[in-house]
Amino acid sequence: MKGVKYSQALALAASLLLATPALEAQVGKSITVADANAVAESELATYPHMTPAIAKALVAKRPFASIKDLNAFLLGQGLTQAQATEFYGKAFVHINLNTATGEEILLVPNAGKRMVHEFDEYRPWRNYAQFDKEISKYVGAEATARLAQYTFIPIDPNTASDDVLMTIPGADAALVAKIKAGRPYKTLADLEKAAPKRVARFFIVQP
């Protein structure tokens, strides 16, 4: 009997492990799009409608707090909206899935008004498993993955694992160690002492 109970307990434990959702990245995985706040100037200069002068000015202006700020910069450099959108196929400032405005969502290539509604309808977004499940119902898995790379779900700096911290564009082991060493954080201002502003924007400090 003891052997049976033990084997049943093992089976139950295994089933619980399988039922537990895997840790999800909190910044959408890049397929073709780099973080405009992190990509090197030399690479920026190779992107659509970039010139060495515009790439240099863009780097000098960083970090951009939002995609709206980057969009205004590009239009101010003489790009049309269509040209800026083509550039966004290579570089973008990620939008917060839980707070992005309709204006910001519409700057995501191929998002359209439907995604303005869908992104809002399923808030609060908690992980990309949820995003994949809900958005793929409308546009399929491939298009969902392409949309995800323009987005992020806010990260808690006090509890995030190394794997989650490494999803931040440009993150490395040194940055992860620095963020963890500064815990606990009470405000985002505290976090900005350990991480640059371009990184701090991916976080939310829980009250």
Query: How much is the pLDDT for 187?
Result: 95
Query: How much is the pLDDT for 89?
Result: 98
Q: Is 48 exposed, middle or buried (0-12, 13-18, 19+ CB in 10 A)?
A: middle
Query: How much is the pLDDT for 13?
Result: 38
**Tens digit of each residue's pLDDT (9 = 90 or more) over 49-61:** 999 999 999 999 9
Bridge partner residues of 155 (DSSP): 203
Q: What is the mean pLDDT of residues 29-50?
A: 97
- Whether the Cβ atoms of residue 97 and residue 125 lie closer than 8 Å to each other: yes
Q: At what angle do helices 141-148 and 128-139 cross, to 10 degrees?
A: 130
What does the mean pLDDT of the chain come to? 90
Query: How much is the pLDDT for 206?
Result: 84
pLDDT over 70 percentage in the chain: 88
Q: How confident is residue 207, by pLDDT bands cut at 50, 70 and 90?
A: confident
Bridge partner residues of 96 (DSSP): 152
**Tens digit of each residue's pLDDT (9 = 90 or more) over 106-162:** 999 999 999 999 999 999 999 999 999 999 999 999 999 999 999 999 999 999 999
pLDDT over 90 percentage in the chain: 86
Query: How much is the pLDDT for 11?
Result: 41
Least confident residue range of 20-24, 133-137, 174-178: 20-24
- Which pTM value belongs to this model? 0.87
* Residue 19 neighbours by CB under 8 Å, 6+ apart: none
